[in-house]
Structure 1
């Protein structure tokens, strides 16, 4: 009897070890698939960056005007001085040679030298990145929370008065050009009702650090972030609304309600997690679109970010700065798309097997 019991215990232990080993192999397999998926997405981004650089380089070179005259301004000069400026900035080389030289510099993170600001492009750009990311991140949070919230409310009772009101609000915010909406908001809330500052990121009288500095930045952030967030919430709202309408008629929702689940639990515990995957894709797309289209909102509100820097580079015909901005913004957009795909795969592991 004792021998039989010990054999049974030994068999259970072996079965437990086999099950644990199987789980460990499964976890290693999932980690390997995630790593391969991320590596594949990153490798796919390399040729995209090269093509983007080529297209931007070609478009900038095809634009009318000569950057040399933008550099020297209206001053009277000699042909020798013009030739010297061209040689100094590498503008006397053939276009294919300029492009290959630029690609080689990008590989070493050298984005060139700014004509207008007389400093390295990489340093100039990354000085402005925190301001743009602060504005874009805040606007993305506003658009995501408002878009998902309105989409849940509208999808709960489609074609009712709440759905119609939310749809009108979302479409009205998207239909108004962001520069016009920004100017309208400034006229009302900064000039007529002086509740917020007109332009800039921080007041001149604000402290250089500490809570006073943070409060000043947040005060300046309210209007541009709200305007940009309202402009970009429409896609999130419409996708959330459509998916909620699809999910709320599924059998598992009927089962949850029949078991006595409250309406709030049905919406946010059962329905929304099953409707959120395509919404995440739209949010990732919105981030890239916001970053690429930040010129207007940053110019209207005087926000010292990448968009304002691009506006200044366009006016000055600063080729190296424009190309550097295009490369960096394109890189951030690609990274945002890759992160979106990774989050999508984390939520729905079936993506790894496709």
Structure 2
């Protein structure tokens, strides 16, 4: 019976995930339809003009001359078969475009996430050890400043400081024009990654430091922490081994919930640093009214967020032993 319940719960979750994806597809389609502009007009404008006959032919080729509900039915049918259509502007399968740009975005988002969680957690834990100390107040002030600053402004300031005044890092792109061979290629990517990753991580460093501080202050006031201290355990072991494990629970939860926000922030960061990822592709698609590509990006992002939430649930159960006893 226990195995049957687990299988039933798994099937139920898969059905719910499928229905959620389809709801996202339909919602995004109508949202794009309400947006002003016409992809054919953009293409014709860049061509320098075209005859009415050619414009009508292009609209028929892309299916834009059909009623909206018919366009929706055709699009949903293609999505169910794994076909996200062709890009209006790039004249390339959308799936191919997404797979080409995905590694750059994953590298940027995951690097920023790791930096934000590690630095923010360490800063918040440090300030929680002495909540009324000078170090705690410094961390709080820096957190407020970092949380309030717009991500694009941080990016431009970092560009001015570290790419113009002190030319330590590259201005834009993911790699140099003359790509080095071997390990030099990966070091070159890492060199280009520093400023975009730090820019995207700054706001979340501020958030996680505040969250870690609040969580650790609560945890360090628990009875089992006082018992550990009464046994004479070193303060470092009490804080980092006994306290931090439980202090990480709300942080892990927020990582999953904010994964979608990281992708949204990546759009601005990739635009500022000309980083060749999904965010830059989304930015270009909006400017060029490339609605098919934009729909593919939105769908792909929604699926990634759902996967992140599932992984967060697994991590949550691993960190908190009490959750392992909760039935799915």
Task: Kindly report which structure 2 residues correspond to 1:102-251, keeping only aligned pairs within 5 A, or say none.
Answer: 102-207=75-180, 209-251=181-223
The CA deviation at 1:277 is 1.3
Task: Kindly report which structure 2 residues correspond to 1:19-58, keeping only aligned pairs within 5 A, or say none.
Answer: 38-58=10-30
The CA deviation at 1:350 is 4.4
The CA deviation at 1:135 is 0.6
The CA deviation at 1:38 is 5.0
Which of 300, 319, 325 is the aligned partner of 1:328?
A: 300
RMSD: 1.9
SS of aligned partner of 2:171: coil
SS of aligned partner of 2:177: coil
Given that residues 178 and 227 in structure 1 are in contact (C-alpha distance below 8 angstroms), is that contact kept between their aligned partners in structure 2? Answer: yes
- For the pair 1:76 / 2:49, whether they are aligned, the reply is yes
Deviations 1:62-91 (A, max 9, x none): 111222111222533222211111110011
- For the pair 1:277 / 2:249, whether they are aligned, the reply is yes
Deviations 1:115-149 (A, max 9, x none): 11111000001100000000111100100001110
SS of aligned partner of 1:353: coil
Partner of 2:58: 85
The CA deviation at 1:320 is 0.5
Which of 56, 63, 70 is the aligned partner of 2:35?
A: 63
Partner of 1:305: 277
In 1, the alpha carbon distance for the partners of 2:73 and 2:320 equals 41
Deviations 1:191-238 (A, max 9, x none): 11010100000011222x411101100000111111111121233222
Deviations 1:284-342 (A, max 9, x none): 22322111331100010110000000011011100100101110011111111121112
Aligned residues: 325
Structure 1 gap segments, 5+ residues each: 1-27
In 1, the alpha carbon distance for the partners of 2:123 and 2:7 equals 36
340-349 vs 242-251, which moves further: 340-349
SS of aligned partner of 2:258: helix
The CA deviation at 1:61 is 0.8
In 2, the alpha carbon distance for the partners of 1:246 and 1:176 equals 28
274-283 vs 74-83, which moves further: 74-83
Structure 2 gap segments, 5+ residues each: none
The CA deviation at 1:346 is 3.1
Q: TM-score, normalised by structure 1?
A: 0.87
Given that residues 225 and 242 in structure 2 are in contact (C-alpha distance below 8 angstroms), is that contact kept between their aligned partners in structure 1? Answer: yes
Deviations 1:141-177 (A, max 9, x none): 1000011101111211113211111111122112111
Q: TM-score, normalised by structure 2?
A: 0.94
Does the C-alpha gap of structure 1 residues 63 and 223 become closer, same or farther in structure 2, counting only changes over 3 Å? same
Does the C-alpha gap of structure 1 residues 236 and 132 become closer, same or farther in structure 2, counting only changes over 3 Å? same
In 1, the alpha carbon distance for the partners of 2:9 and 2:43 equals 46
